[in-house]
Amino acid sequence: MLTKLDSVEAFVDYLIEHNTTTDQFIDLMFTTGNYFRDESDFDYETFCKLRETVCTNLSVKRNEIIYLLPKVKEDFWALMREKTRIYYDYYIIPQLRFPKGIDATIKHKVLYRVAETYSAHWSLEHPGKIAYTPNQEYLLQDRQVVIKLGRFLNKIASDLLTPDQIRDIATMSNIDFNCELRWATTEEDIVWVYENGPESCMGKPASAFESSVHPVAAYDSPDIAIAYVYNTKKDEVISRACCNVNDKQFNRIFGERSTIAPFLYQQGYTENIDALVGCRIKKIADDNDEYIGPYIDADTDYQICRLTNDLDHFIIGDDQPNAGDVVGKCWNSVESSGYISTDNEPGVECESCGVNCPDEDLFYCEECGDRICDGCVGSTDDDAILCSHCLDAHTYEVVDRDGDPLRLWRLPPGAVDVDGDLYVDEEAANDNGWYRCRMCNEWHDEDHLNENDVCADCAETEEEAA
């Protein structure tokens, strides 16, 4: 459950408590300021003064910040609070899916209203429903209205979308109600989740590793549990996160974030890339007395593990071992060895996920040039090597002649845009029911052309001319 922040004092104290940096604060200021800047009651002079004020530690300038924030604009601090929640991923924004035939401009307007105007997000307290802020009064009081997605779209976009379009968008975009949060705490269950869930460097079958057992078997520990979302209808694991059950933190989400994050936040968990530092992992040795362990997501440089006095566990992230302790590093597991390395050579860091691995195992992203590991190579239908960021930002979804979507890095030379959808060529558009009017050359659904391949408007013009 999110902390209620219904005053500027509570908001600023929250930022200080969560160690918000000056740069982060200024970024949030400008993100919010861009939204307000054209409004008459926006005080740009005070906005600039506030920026100058926070060029030191936030806690030092607490009182001045509290004084200036409402002066910029009455609800400036409150909208900045909402941007903060989006910034830290506490808000999971609905990823709307649109049926064919909706103009790209309409799509943009709807998405803007959802994300910007109403701070809409999947409710953390009522999974499957939308929470949104309807007006300034609710914004200042940190109150939200909880409603079904279809009803929400009808309230905010009935001037842009037809009832049938709203129904189709809600049906296509709703969180699957067949999903449930489950926990894996035994070696057998943990290995099963990784072998049957989202892809990652550890999300492979045991046979993919050189070790005698799957590396993630070491997560069988009193300190660690694997949270995962299971779709009972599809019979599959769609997301997972490795959790520190003592501090109620998780380090990284794999798979569909929107399916698992609300569940974890609802149970009081927070996200921290170093969540597992200090946790124990199970000591597993093979016949050659080599220790088996997984790659562990963390910001610590070498992910040191130390064998504890009870000889049953390693401690993650302890870089000050006692004399005689067995010390290793978990980064080497990404080589598919599955062993905790005692080699002091840390390898080269993947610029996408931070994994350390041998230089020869890295790839170059063809778009941005970053060096990335095998687990971060994006998959496109034209065999491009892209990092996950470029896969999302610099690829196209194009429909082929069979009506199947393709993810392409380079747009084919003959590609055509039909009503907001891309097709590999005109023949593909024709195969999917779209044809050009013989007179105006505009695209139309085949049902809206007459037997002479002329649209209604052109046919009417032709008749008038005759």
pLDDT in tens, 70-84: 998 888 888 889 888
Q: How confident is the model at residue 466 (pLDDT cuts 50, 70, 90)?
A: low
pLDDT given for residue 323 in this prediction: 42
State the virtual CA torsion across 100, 101, 106, 111 in degrees, nearest 10.
Answer: -10
CA–CA dist 397, 331 (Å, integer): 35
pLDDT tens sequence across 388-400: 778 877 788 888 8
Q: Which H or E run contains 72?
A: helix 62-72
Average pLDDT, stretch 447-452? Answer: 84
Q: Is a pLDDT exceeding 80 seen at residue 331?
A: no
The mean pLDDT value for 111-134 works out to: 79
Residues 6+ apart with CB under 8 A from 299: 273, 274, 354
Average pLDDT over residues 292-301: 70
Query: What pLDDT is attached to residue 117?
Result: 66
In the chain, where the domains are located: 8-87, 104-173, 179-335, 347-393, 405-465
Task: Give residue-wise pLDDT tens across range 30-41.
Answer: 888 776 666 777
- CA-to-CA distance for 414 and 424, rounded, in angstroms? 6
Nearest to 172, CA basis, from 107, 268, 86: 107
Would you state the torsion angle of the CA atoms of residues 410, 413, 416, 420, taken in this order, to the nearest 10 degrees? Answer: 20
**Among the listed ranges 4-8, 237-241, 338-342, which one has the minimum average pLDDT value?**
338-342
